Amino acid sequence: MKAGGLGIFCALVVGSIDNLLRPILVGKDTQMHELMIFFGTLGGIIMFGIMGMIIGPIVAALFITIWEIYGVAFKDILPQVGSIQSRSQLEKYPESADNKSDCVGS
């Protein structure tokens, strides 16, 4: 009986605290967004089990690094990407957009 109660306590309380604190603590050093760490951890657990808590965020960090390297290596070939502005931003600051037809929502 006590073992079951301890198991439920660990699953609910300790698991929840770990899921809340891990993104904050890991994200400071890695400069990754909390959601990326969270989904990397969840995906790692789904794919690799308990070891996925370590492997998942590492795979997510490698993905982000490769994505950034790709963007730098092929910046001459890739199309230029601008910011997406809403219609209210365009009406408020019309000089910020060269062509209104390029923006989403126009």
pLDDT tens track for 3-22: 888 888 877 887 777 777 76
Q: Residues 80, 33, 28, 15: what is their CA dihedral angle, to the nearest 10 degrees?
A: -170
Whole-prediction pTM value?
0.52
Q: How many CB atoms lie within 10 A of CB 48?
A: 14
Least confident of 16-20, 38-42, 49-53: 16-20
Report the alpha-carbon distance of residue 55 to residue 79 in Å, rounded.
33
Under the banding of pLDDT at 50, 70 and 90, the label for residue 100 is very low
Of residues 67 and 15, which shows the higher confidence score?
A: 67
- Distances, alpha carbon 88 to alpha carbons 74, 92, 101, 104, in Å: 34, 6, 14, 11
Range 64-77 average pLDDT: 88
- Residue 95: pLDDT band (50, 70, 90) is low
